Amino acid sequence: MNACRIFLSLILLLASAGFAAGVELRDEIYTTKDVGKVVFSHKAHLAMKDIRNNCKACHSEIYDMKKKSSATMADMEKGKSCGACHNGKRAFSVSQCTKCHPVRDVTFPVAATGPTRFSHKKHTGSHECGACHPGLYKIGKSNIVGMAAMEKGKSCGACHNGRKAFAIAQCSRCHPTKEINMQVKETGPVKFSHKKHTAVSGCESCHTKLYTTSGHRRVTMAEMQKGKSCGACHNGKAAFALQKCTGCHPAKETVTFQSSWKAKFTHSPHLTKYSCSKCHPALYSPGKGNKTATMADMESGKSCGACHNGKQVFSVTENCVACHSA
């Protein structure tokens, strides 16, 4: 009797294996309204240890091949359809949505700051899809939510409140920033570093009170000295004063003047004692195009002679090798 049962079981096993091998198996593609196409792979499932080419594992107890029917997620959560196995015990739970439903990074066009990207991969690594869908966002296309609404706890602000996740006030975590090179005719390019400034101040310190987040008018040094633009902070109290020009403007360390004897001017020792305004623009206009002064001019108090007069510092008529190479 036992031998007969073993024989019958072997016949059924061979029959099911032959059925699986003889039937053309293809991937089943389900088109969903909100989350795109879902692919069911017969090949992947039949290769699983618990199934082992046994089509009867699903047919026709779970799926009737004679009937075309689809189950909702609510049905699956009750153990129907995929949920019969995908219950978190026998196989991964149906709540692990991205195992079956494709997700992609979402790029939001933001006029003021440029495109902002939302990464599903980063968020689903630590949260389930149900944390956001459909409570905060309906699945599929959603309306863009403004920062004011987020600050009230809507959309991203539901989590990004400084407690559950970083606060939305940390703008550069989502919005792209770049280093800005401003072309200044007199002194050469001046670089504004967002990275350095956002390390010590929030974006709201400058935007939109001092600067709009898109194009804006160039501000002069005279305006800054009145507290506008960079001058709002660079006043010697909140940050270094505007008078410390080399904090932003590049200064060529050594300037060589061509004459019968070459003369070199070095910025470093002068800047340790004097501000840039001591010489610029009264004695020299910043940048190129300055006329080389003669020794006679200097002895008359022009150019270097304005300071090198034997009273403030050594005279241009003495210690010549301090400037001229012998």
In order, the DSSP letters of 125-140 are: TTS-GGGTTTTTS-SS
Q: What is the residue range of 287's domain?
A: 254-322
Task: Look at residue 4 and tell me if it is in a domain.
Answer: no
Task: Look at residue 264 and tell me if it is in a domain.
Answer: yes
pLDDT digits (tens, 9 = 90+) for 97-129: 888 988 889 998 888 788 899 999 899 888 888
- List Cβ neighbours of 132 (8 Å cut-off, separation of 6 or more): 123
| pLDDT computed for residue 22 by the predictor | 55
Task: Look at residue 188 and tell me if it is in a domain.
Answer: yes
pLDDT digits (tens, 9 = 90+) for 234-267: 999 999 999 889 899 988 888 888 766 788 899 9
What CATH number is associated with residue 276?
A: 3.90.10.10
| pLDDT computed for residue 79 by the predictor | 95
Per the model's pLDDT, the better-predicted residue between 218 and 190 turns out to be 190
**Is 49 a residue whose pLDDT tops 80?**
yes
Distance CA 77, CA 90 (A): 14
| pLDDT computed for residue 263 by the predictor | 87
CA dihedral (143, 149, 154, 155) positive or negative = positive
Distance CA 293, CA 81 (A): 92
The strand pair at 254-257 and 180-182 is best described as unpaired
Say yes or no: 258 and 223 in one domain. no
Say yes or no: 162 and 122 in one domain. yes
Among 192, 227, 247, the domain boundary falls at 247
Question: What does the buried/exposed string (b/e) look like for 92-109 if buried means 16 or more CB atoms within 10 Å of the residue's CB?
Answer: eebeebeebbeeeeeeee
Say yes or no: 210 and 194 in one domain. yes
Tell me the mean pLDDT in the region 28-56.
Answer: 89
Task: Look at residue 2 and tell me if it is in a domain.
Answer: no
Looking at the DSSP bridge assignments, the partners of residue 254 are 266
pLDDT digits (tens, 9 = 90+) for 149-168: 999 999 999 999 999 999 99
Among 208, 228, 247, the domain boundary falls at 247
Task: Look at residue 272 and tell me if it is in a domain.
Answer: yes
The strand pair at 190-192 and 180-182 is best described as antiparallel
Task: Look at residue 9 and tell me if it is in a domain.
Answer: no
Among 247, 268, 297, the domain boundary falls at 247
Torsion, CA 128, CA 133, CA 135, CA 138, rounded to 10: 170
Say yes or no: 34 and 97 in one domain. yes
Task: Look at residue 85 and tell me if it is in a domain.
Answer: yes
Q: Which two tokens stand for residue 52?
A: 């082992």
Distance CA 148, CA 126 (A): 26
Say yes or no: 133 and 185 in one domain. no
Task: Look at residue 3 and tell me if it is in a domain.
Answer: no
Say yes or no: 33 and 98 in one domain. yes
Lowest mean pLDDT among 102-106, 178-182, 287-291, 303-307: 287-291
Say yes or no: 35 and 98 in one domain. yes
Say yes or no: 83 and 125 in one domain. no
Q: Out of 43-47, 64-68, 123-127, give the one with best mean pLDDT.
A: 43-47
| pLDDT computed for residue 7 by the predictor | 35
Say yes or no: 201 and 243 in one domain. yes
ω into 208 cis (within 30 of 0): yes
Domains in the chain: how many in total? 4
